Amino acid sequence: MAESPEHEGAAAPPPRRRTAGRRSGPPGGGWGSRLPGGGWGGRPPGGGWGALALALPAWLVLGVFFLLPLALMLGVSGAERGVYGGLRPVADLAAYLRSGAFLASYRQTLQALYLGIAWRSLWMAALTTGLCVAIGFPAAYALALHAPPRRKGLLLGLVVVPLWTSFLIRTYAWMFILRSEGLLNHLLLGAGLASRPLPMLYTGGAVIVGLVYGELPFMILPLYAALERLDRTLLEAAADLGAGRAAVVRRVTVPLALPGLVAGVVLVFVPSLGQFVVSDLLGGAHTMLLGNLIQNQFAVARNQPFGAALAFELTAAVLLLLAAGARLGAGRAAGAAGAGAGAAGKAANEASASGQPQRSWELL
């Protein structure tokens, strides 16, 4: 075996007792691995097969209930909808493929109506992201550079706590505030600022408010992490060299915070794009987003091929965005967002650190 334990270095203490460098892996399996070299991977009993045995349950569960469903859905997206909502059986697969009929659902997604919905999803997600940056950046800046060190933990914890509370209820809070008989209208009427209740709920504006409300912490946390690590002497140096306040921010602070910014943008934009709860509860008939459209195809319209095609297009868009984000610099910068979680963790304890439901991809 070429592997010499001595070269593993301090990070991975060489296995001393047994099975040094023995290879293990499933027959022909591409993912077969050497032993966890005795470091923190630990070497629970099982010797060379330990690593395989450890990851096996995850592979089984995710293989059967994650990869297989996706593959099935890919197949469904190429099928034709049956008369009663099921799938129409295909008699001759080769002929079916040659005819190009399997692309019918994807072609359908290009109709003006659906392109309109996709476009609306995109710009609503973009607007949400923009607002989150505008609101979140100054707040993160103040937290990272101005907050008294003793208060930082508490202040950061207060940004994290909403993430642990029910998303539905946080959305509902805005229904309660914005509806015609709601609090805001009550106050406006009481103050004489409106003569009759303003329609605020079930509008695009309400959806944006709900999205920004739900996503804002995901922008603040990575920005905070990036700004917190920023070397302050650079700011002083810039000032000493004659840069004005605005110039320092524009030419030093923002570029240095870029990884955090990119991470925040991705963390906010991606979930906003696939959203359907907020738009369903706070939006009206004219604020249908991609998420609603997909959900509709499965729950109401019973057009699974079309829904599946839309789902894969959404997935493709998300993957493209993530790739772009990684390329733009979130990538190796310790996954600025990961650091975000880390920073939050120091403050709001480890549990909260990881407490970013749905966003742990930052460990990418």
Q: Considering only residues 22 through 51, tell me which ones interact with another protein, judged by CB under 8 A.
A: 25, 29-34, 36-45, 50-51
Interaction between residue 269 and another protein (CB under 8 A):
no
In the complex, the smallest distance separating the C-beta of residue 217 from another protein, rounded to whole angstroms, is: 7
Query: Among positive and negative, which fits the CA dihedral 234, 239, 243, 244?
Result: positive
Residue from 103, 142, 194, 324 binding another protein (CB under 8 A): 142
CA distance 121 to 275: 9
Interaction between residue 361 and another protein (CB under 8 A):
yes
Q: Which two tokens stand for residue 329?
A: 């610099």
Q: Which two tokens stand for residue 137?
A: 């950046």
Residue from 20, 126, 301, 318 binding another protein (CB under 8 A): 318
Interaction between residue 154 and another protein (CB under 8 A):
no
Residue from 20, 90, 133, 281 binding another protein (CB under 8 A): 281
Q: Which two tokens stand for residue 43?
A: 């070497």
Q: Are 215 and 272 in contact (CB under 8 A)?
A: yes
In the complex, the smallest distance separating the C-beta of residue 350 from another protein, rounded to whole angstroms, is: 5
Q: Is 242 left (phi over 0), alpha (psi -120 to 50) or beta?
A: left
In the complex, the smallest distance separating the C-beta of residue 58 from another protein, rounded to whole angstroms, is: 4
Please choose, out of 101-109, 123-131, 233-241, 255-263, the segment that lies near another protein by the rule CB under 8 A: 233-241
Interaction between residue 287 and another protein (CB under 8 A):
no
Interaction between residue 59 and another protein (CB under 8 A):
yes
Residues 95-134 that bind another protein (CB under 8 A): none
Please choose, out of 100-108, 111-119, 153-161, 325-333, the segment that lies near another protein by the rule CB under 8 A: 153-161
* DSSP state, residue 154: H
Interaction between residue 303 and another protein (CB under 8 A):
no
CA distances for 144 relative to 153, 165, 232, 324, 364, angstroms: 11, 24, 11, 27, 24
Interaction between residue 316 and another protein (CB under 8 A):
no
Interaction between residue 58 and another protein (CB under 8 A):
yes
Q: Are 295 and 304 in contact (CB under 8 A)?
A: no
In the complex, the smallest distance separating the C-beta of residue 42 from another protein, rounded to whole angstroms, is: 4
Query: Among positive and negative, which fits the CA dihedral 152, 158, 161, 167?
Result: negative
Q: Are 223 and 261 in contact (CB under 8 A)?
A: yes
Interaction between residue 175 and another protein (CB under 8 A):
yes
Residue from 20, 21, 54, 301 binding another protein (CB under 8 A): 54
CA distance 175 to 203: 11
Residue from 124, 156, 206, 216 binding another protein (CB under 8 A): 216
SS3 of 121, please? Answer: helix
